[in-house]
Structures are given as structure tokens and as C-alpha cells.
Amino acid sequence: MFNILIMDPDHYVKNGLFSYLKFPGVNVMVVSNLGDLTINLKNNHIHVVVMELFSRDDDVFHSIEFVRNFHVEWPEQHLIIYTQLKNENAICLLKAVTGVNDIFYKNEQMKKLANCISSSLKRRVNKLSLIGE
């Protein structure tokens, strides 16, 4: 089972992503804030995290710090930012500060996000076939 965890405060975005990404063999979980995201990362075997930088419950600076430290805490998981933020300078700064390059805009086609997740799934399958799991 391939596990995707989505963090977004918007109910419609979560439902849309859930419906779009739900396939046989893919488990999609949704949460609304960093606290719930962290709990799920600690308690479930998550392969991909798709998260918005903003939530009603979390300060944006706390979110950026979370993203910056993500690969220290969860080095095997793939982090994708899916944001409504449109300021190119802010996105460049985010990339420079966090090192995350998989950033997609909510006003873009969802196919770009799906392709990124699909690439992560393919890497996971290739890795498992190499180690014989």
C-alpha cells in the first residue's frame, strides 16, 4: 500500500485531492494542521506528504520551519508543497530556505502534482525491487 498524507485547511481542497489521488493500492489520508500531520507521520507509514503552507491553526513561520526540518525528521518521505501562494519571490525564498523543490500552485493543473506523486511511487517500487521486498 502506498500512503499519501494531505495537509490543507480547506475542506474542498482535501476532498478534491482525496478523490483525485485515490486509486487501488493507494491510501490517502487528510488532515487540517501541522499537529495532526505530525501525529500521522509518527504513527503511520507515510510515503508522500502534500501540504499547504498556510493553515488556520498554524503560523506560516512555524510551517516554514516544519518544512525546513522535514527531511531531518522523516528522511524517507517525499514532501510536496501544494500552495495558494503566488508570489514568485516568496517561492524562491522558500526553496532557498527549505531546499524543497517540489512546489506546485493550486491554480495549476492537478496533473503536475499527480505526476510528481507518481514519480515518487515509481521510485519506491524500484527501490523495493532492488532490495527484494
Q: Which pLDDT does position 97 carry in this prediction?
A: 87
DSSP letter, residue 106: T
Pick the closest to residue 107 from 124, 82, 127, 90 (CA basis): 82
Pick the closest to residue 112 from 99, 101, 128, 96 (CA basis): 101
pLDDT-based confidence at residue 101 (cuts at 50, 70, 90): confident
Kindly give, in sequence order, each residue whose CB lies less than 8 Å from that of residue 58, ignoring residues fewer than 6 positions away. 33, 34, 35
Sign of CA dihedral 109, 40, 67, 11: positive
Q: What is the pLDDT of residues 13-72, one digit of tens each?
A: 999 999 999 889 899 999 999 999 999 999 999 999 999 988 888 888 898 899 999 999
Q: Which residues pair with 81 in a beta bridge?
A: 51, 103
Domain boundaries, the chain: 2-131
Homologous superfamily (CATH) for 2-131: Response regulator (3.40.50.2300)
